[in-house]
Amino acid sequence: MMSEAPKIPLRRQLATCALLSAIAVAVIAIFHQPPYLTTLLAGVPLSYQVLIGVAFCAVYWSGTKIGYRYMTKSEAARSTAENYARLDLSGWNPLWISLAAGFGEELLFRGALQPLMGIYVAAALFTLAHIRAYRFQQLNRKTLMQAGMLFFTGVAFGAIAQHIGLVAAMMIHASADIVGLYAIRQYVLTQARA
């Protein structure tokens, strides 16, 4: 059952993403060669990156709608939903949280760190950055599965950023979070009614 702990407010989520963005800008300014914007916007043309992001969102939304009914049957999925249910998911908050995370996390891990450290190290750091969100403090089968899926997601975002472009990775990350957080909100409401 869902806990009744105080919700993590939107401003805290946005502040975290702003901090990640500031760290990314500092890393880029110190360790990358100018022109910075050209490097960040490399890849296929931006219009294609946007289309790829929108197409992914549509496919992911469809898959989530189909898979939602099975969410409660998986211990890892239930645990993930309960961890993210700690966020204040009221109103438009899932949208704002997702846009901020998609931009801030991708700018830091794929835009700033990946060119310096490679896809796998950036994905590992991405996974470590989510320790508190996923409550990885206790190592067990469930948390190892979640960490593995998060690492795989980081590698996938890294490949997208490298082969398609950072904007596509940002859009795909944000759209996956939007769909996921709204699904979690629906899950929480369903659990509250049960």
Residue 1 has pLDDT above 70, yes or no: no
Residues in CB range of 182: below 8 A, 6 or more apart? 89, 94
The whole-number pLDDT of residue 70 equals: 65
Report the distance separating Cα 128 and Cα 124, nearest Å.
6
Q: How far, in Å, CA of 74 to CA of 133, rounded?
A: 18
Of 172, 77, 156, residue with least CA distance to 123: 156
Tens digits of residue pLDDT in 78-108: 777 888 888 999 999 999 999 999 999 999 9
Taking the complete model, does pTM exceed 0.95, yes or no? no
CA angle 174/139/101 to nearest 5° reads 15
Q: How many CB atoms lie within 10 A of CB 28?
A: 22
Q: What percent of the chain has pLDDT over 90?
A: 58
d(CA 148, CA 107): 22
pLDDT of residue 24: 96
Q: φ, ψ for residue 165 (rounded to 5)?
A: 150, 155
Report phi then psi at 8, rounded to 5: -75, 120
Q: Which amino acid is at 58?
A: A
Instruction: Please compute the mean of the pLDDT values over residues 59-82 and round it to a whole number.
Output: 75
Residue 64 has pLDDT above 70, yes or no: yes
147-167: per-residue pLDDT in tens?
A: 899 999 999 999 999 999 999
Residue-by-residue DSSP string for 30-66: HHSPSPHHHHHT-BS-HHHHHHHHHHHHHHHHHHHHH
Higher pLDDT, 168 or 73: 168
> Alpha helices, DSSP H only, in the chain?
10-31, 36-40, 46-71, 75-84, 93-106, 114-117, 119-128, 131-134, 141-163, 166-193
Q: In angstroms, rounded to a whole number, what is the distance separating the alpha carbons of residues 14 and 89?
A: 13
